[in-house]
Structure 1
Amino acid sequence: MSRTVNVVRMQLVNKQTFGWVPLAILVGALAVTLAIWAMVPDGGALYSGGAQAPFWYFAVIGVQALTLTFPFSQAMSVTRREFYLGTLLTAALAAAVLTVVFLVGGFVEQATDGWGMNGYFFTFPWIWDAGAPVAAAFYFVLSMLSFVAGFTGATLYKRFGAFWLVVVSVGLVLVLIAAAWLVTRAGAWSDVMGWLLTSGVGGLTAVLAGITVVVALVAFPLLRRAVP
């Protein structure tokens, strides 16, 4: 366990990757959003999708956590299992910090009537209507899913090269398109939307958590054979 914790320390040597850059992206997106809202005439509640920016960046963090640190870890005689567990633990810590920031931002918005402009950057009703704990779980799982997707993609690249990374990526896109086509042919979009409305953000979070676990489990066998 101590060696796994050492991997966490190694990943956090460059604090910008896991800490300052995601926060800078979030603060920048919020500042731009508030400036735009200030120019919009009063006309009801305002919402922004800018809050998703740091979640997308977590995929970049996943790539960097492997490509920048994995070769160094092998030179330091860290086992691949220790590197894998320590890296996931580092990501979980970063995701927890981002989740806290989102919760605090949501509470500030609620206390200030949307920054005094009836604008909501953190508190989308569909997410927050289920309560702050469920919203926190959603933010945490979304961060981890983005991270493990980037980490697994980088591991696939290290193991098989760029060609197979492109093949797998295109294959996944085709699978999603095929699934959408089947739902459309079956006329089942109303059922899908009904499930989302019935299950709410809690049900979606559970599905995303399951996908996150599967993707994370795929990464480890690839990491065991990856070339530093």
Structure 2
Amino acid sequence: MDEKEALTEALIAAHPEAVRERLKASDGILKVPEALLTSRQVRHPPAVILYGLLLGMANKYSRIFVSNGKLAQLLNVKSVNSITNYLKELMTGGFISLSYAHTGLKTARQIKINCIPKPGNYIGIPLEAIKDNTITPLQALIIGCVYSWMWKYKRIYIFINANDVAKALNKPTKTIKNNITALAKAGYLERFEHNQLTVKLQHCTIEQVIDYDLLDK
């Protein structure tokens, strides 16, 4: 066990509340069922993110009436046609269903969520990654995987490799490696050693947490 890992273990034992604060996404998280990540019908990462957005709406509103234009805006995509394709993927996979009500000259579309994830059966993606236009949907899913595993194991950094993420997201390992490198350059992920990663959220980094712990000694 090296010095940094020893400091981290001491931090977890002495200050579990600091670990929780380190892992807290201040802007909240977007939940995505793990079943979507490996679904053969839902092939595009933006469709997965779209489901997470719809799930958030379902938790807030009794019925979901939202236009493709608004969904495109929330998902940071330019083409409304893309939203139509992503909705079709989610319907084919059985994750959502659509119904239409005709009132005079207007037609209202309602979106119904068919798959509600149970606790522990989803990944949580920090919303700050979703809102960042420079982060692709696949990169947001990678961040979500790392972030969720950190929460699961109550670690402020974890040992994983690109194969682990690739398997979870059902994507080629080379693609995941390239995107992890891009996220590290962008400052969203930090690598201490070859297979050691942590998510860098907006308000707190692992260095700050360890520094605070050392100041208390």
- Asked if these proteins are the same fold (TM beyond 0.5), I'd say no
Normalised TM-score (structure 1): 0.26
More strand, by proportion: 2
Instruction: Give the number of the structure whose residues are more often helix, by fraction.
Output: 1
